[in-house]
Amino acid sequence: MDISQIRTLLKWMQSIELGPGDLTTETISPYALHSAGSATALSNGLFSGREVLEILFEESGRQLAVNWKVRSGDSVKAGDVLFEFNGNGADVLKNRRLIHWIIGHMSGLATATAEASQLLKTSGKLLVQGVSVNPIFDVFDELAFETGGGIWKRHGLMDSIYVTQAHIHYAGSIDKCLGQINQEIGDTRKTLKIEVEINSAEQFERFNELDYDTLHLVGLTDEDVRNVFESLNPVKKPILHLAKLGHFKESYADYFFKYCAIEELHRNIVLLDSQIVFQEKST
């Protein structure tokens, strides 16, 4: 977990969400009021996001006490209390939409990841993130994905060379592309991975024995998948990317690959609903 990146992202989100301040909260009271309350789940799922929310609450310091009732990775059902708070209620009130989104988005991804991960494990395969990860918010998604049992294999654009068909067209050809890469990286080739994304069995046949570390099979038809693993004899284990979890077939269990990515996990996240309730003050 890169805490500095999470802090930077939260500050950016607050600058957009709040701007110079929360006009409604500041109009109700020009100074912070002591409050107590709780955040409660409104739907079932696997909770994720506690680490991020703890960083969000850091700015309140001792003015806000948060008593957590769940940890990331815990199963929750509608009605379960996620955390209780006591102290500077304005800090909770102004951040309420961010709190709801972080809980909903991260828990939703963790829940879907757990389902996919468990299904793939029955066939001896491991779940990795797809190419459809959310830019910017992948710093949150990595935590949620790993909470659900997935493996996050790539971090940003600087930890490996990931070549897509767009890069190949930009360079002019695969030979020019890989040739230029090897020329530029020189001796670091021994430690720097080259990954290539291919989109058909025909492309796989061309790339199979070239100088690369991993081939990503993205957008292949079921016929192409069968052709790759039953006829074309992969030199190295590729990573299979599927659009939906339902596209994974029992016959894939015996195919020569270890890692599988499910793209819909990153595209269609069903948020975990939650609510924040303030205790009513006696008059």
Q: What CA–CA distance (Å, rounded) separates 179 from 184? A: 9
The confidence score (pLDDT) of residue 23 equals 57
- What is the token pair recorded at 22? 């929360």
278, 282, 281: which is closest to 89 by C-alpha? 278
At 201, which helix (H) or strand (E)?
A: helix 201-207
- What is the token pair recorded at 85? 């708070």
Domain assignment of residue 116, yes or no: no
Q: Which domain holds residue 232?
A: 121-267
Tens digit of pLDDT for each residue in 231-279?
A: 999 999 999 999 999 999 999 999 999 999 999 999 999 999 999 999 8
89 and 125 part of one domain = no
At 23, which helix (H) or strand (E)?
A: helix 23-28
Phi-psi region for residue 95, left (φ > 0), alpha (ψ -120 to 50) or beta? alpha
Angle between helices 96-121 and 3-17 (to 10 degrees): 130
177 and 200 part of one domain = yes
Q: Please check whether residue 218 is in contact with residue 195, taking contact to mean a CB–CB distance below 8 angstroms.
A: no
Question: Vertex 47, ends 44 and 49: CA angle to 5°?
Answer: 140
SS3 (DSSP) at 19: coil
246 and 207 part of one domain = yes
Task: Give me the half-sphere count of Cα atoms (radius 13 Å) on the Cβ side of residue 56.
Answer: 26
The confidence score (pLDDT) of residue 45 equals 97
253 and 176 part of one domain = yes
106 and 126 part of one domain = no
For each of the chain's 283 residues, which pLDDT tens digit applies?
788 999 999 999 988 887 776 656 666 665 667 889 999 999 999 999 999 999 999 988 889 999 999 999 999 999 999 999 999 888 898 899 999 999 999 999 999 999 999 999 999 999 999 999 888 899 999 999 999 999 998 765 556 788 888 988 898 888 888 888 878 887 777 778 889 999 999 999 988 888 788 999 999 999 999 999 999 999 999 999 999 999 999 999 999 999 999 999 999 999 999 999 998 765 5
In the chain, the number of structural domains is 2
64 and 148 part of one domain = no
> What pTM was computed for the model?
0.90
**Residues 174, 136, 70, 76: what is their CA dihedral angle, to the nearest 10 degrees?**
-70
Phi, psi at 197, each rounded to 5°: -95, 125
Q: Please check whether residue 25 is in contact with residue 268, taking contact to mean a CB–CB distance below 8 angstroms.
A: no
86 and 211 part of one domain = no
Domain assignment of residue 31, yes or no: yes
The confidence score (pLDDT) of residue 91 equals 86
